[in-house]
Amino acid sequence: MFADRILSGMRPTGKLHLGHYHGVIKNWVQLQSEHECLFMVADWHALTTNYDDVAVIEQSLWDMVIDWLAAGVDPAQATIFIQSKVPEHAELHLALSMVCPLGWLERVPTYKDQIEKLSHKDLTTYGFLGYPLLQAADILVYKANQVPVGEDQVPHIELTREMARRFNHLYGREPGFEEKALAAVKKLGGKKGKLYTELKTRFQQEGDEAAVEAAHALLQDAQNLSIGDRERLFAFLENKGRVILPEPDALLTAASRMPGLDGNKMSKSYGNTIALREAPESVSKKVRAMPTDPARVRRTDPGDPAKCPVWQLHQVYSDEPTREWVVKGCTSAGIGCLDCKQPVIDGVLREQRPMFERAQKYLDDPTLVKAIVADGCERARKIANDTMKDVREAMGLGY
């Protein structure tokens, strides 16, 4: 069993490019072997901004999953699923909406930013205001404790933490908590129940942390406890409310800024991308057309790599000797810009080759992709449904 459960998501709003690969997916691939991972296609989130152009979502969705698989996300290790196929997200979103102060949503920095940035769209909708709350539901419905995200998403994780805290505060002390906890102690059995009570007393009278640890181990091993009872006893031990929804942490990816074809950050909105599965001829063409140091008008003019976007790609794709060759050749006009670009082209193609290979089998047989996703949705639903049972009960909807 893994200690951490990781959840992350991506909106299906267009083709993935190498910026997504270096910034996000490479990290997912690393995480999947070390932790329990759930990777979600956030189609409802895509709808919050794309409600007037829904076709893009379905088009992007399957391609995006193939891109994930091509990049090395392994369905044998990670759970790949679609948000809208797990309606528990919507149910938790609604439940949380009952206790989410409006101000918390209006204060999220991305809210006003995006409304301004996407001013051609009317985003003064209920759904868009609730975007971060839906994201909180995505995370909390799996009780995920780590969420890999970029810097821009940190306020959303903060809101998720605040919502979890508020929810636990309001509903963690269910009616009859004390009696239920005592009944759960009985269920532990005579010997274990007695030991639990002793450890609890030791902690509460002497503040003995070792007693807490011992009690945690005891509860962890107690096979006959339901999840609800186990959590009750954790809370009872330290006289806290029951943690129904645990607070997650943001797992910040080391900001790997992937440069685009023009030297700016690679991004769809700048039109400077190389697709994850861009055809090799097109890669060559795009790199060959890249702007270089404007001082190199003629082949004989020396240049300065620091002023050249191609040089930034050398940082990603070239080894030390190649980079030395570039600096020397550029500053002395010893090499031409097309010579200089060739190792970058080779590097991108080298990176993409295994992706094309992995993607082929899914392109040949799209039912494989559907089966992977169906399986992932089923696994996700099981977890989500367990959480919702607790949530419904805690909110007095257990009938």
Rule CB under 6 A: is residue 20 a binding residue for ligand SF4? no
- Of the candidate residues 45, 200, 277, 314, the single one contacting ligand TRP (CB under 6 A): 45
Count CA within 13 A, CB hemisphere, residue 395.
Answer: 18
DSSP state of 24: I
Q: Give yes or no for a contact between 215 and 196, defined as CB atoms under 8 angstroms apart.
A: yes
* Number of residues forming the site for ligand TRP (CB under 6 A): 13
- Of the candidate residues 9, 75, 193, 343, the single one contacting ligand TRP (CB under 6 A): 9
Rule CB under 6 A: is residue 143 a binding residue for ligand TRP? no
Length of the chain: 399
Among ligand TRP, ligand SF4, none, residue 92 binds (CB under 5-8 Å by kind): none
Q: C-beta of 131: minimal distance to ligand TRP in Å? A: 7
* Number of residues forming the site for ligand SF4 (CB under 6 A): 14
Sort strands 249-252 and 79-82 into parallel, antiparallel or unpaired: unpaired
Q: Which is nearer to ligand TRP, 8 or 292 (CB)?
A: 8
Question: Among the residues of the chain, which ranges form H helices?
Answer: 18-20, 26-32, 43-50, 55-70, 88-97, 102-106, 109-117, 126-129, 131-140, 154-171, 177-187, 190-206, 209-221, 227-237, 280-288, 309-317, 320-331, 337-364, 366-394
Rule CB under 6 A: is residue 149 a binding residue for ligand TRP? yes
Rule CB under 6 A: is residue 308 a binding residue for ligand SF4? yes
- Of the candidate residues 67, 88, 174, 293, the single one contacting ligand SF4 (CB under 6 A): 293
Q: C-beta of 298: minimal distance to ligand SF4 in Å? A: 12
Rule CB under 6 A: is residue 156 a binding residue for ligand SF4? no
Whole-angstrom distance, CA of residue 381 vs CA of residue 377: 6
* Sole window of 121-129, 132-140, 193-201, 292-300 interacting with ligand TRP (rule: CB under 6 A): 132-140
Bridge partner residues of 38 (DSSP) = 7, 79
- Of the candidate residues 36, 43, 88, 138, the single one contacting ligand TRP (CB under 6 A): 138
Count CA within 13 A, CB hemisphere, residue 144.
Answer: 28
Q: Give yes or no for a contact between 307 and 295, defined as CB atoms under 8 angstroms apart.
A: yes
Contacts (CB under 6 A) with ligand SF4, residues 202-261: none
The CA distances from residue 170 to 5, 98, 240, 245, 387, in Å, are 25, 11, 12, 11, 16
Binding residues for ligand TRP, rule: CB under 6 A, are 7-11, 42, 45, 135, 138-139, 147, 149, 153
Binding residues for ligand SF4, rule: CB under 6 A, are 292-293, 296, 303, 305, 308, 310-311, 326, 330, 335, 337, 340-341
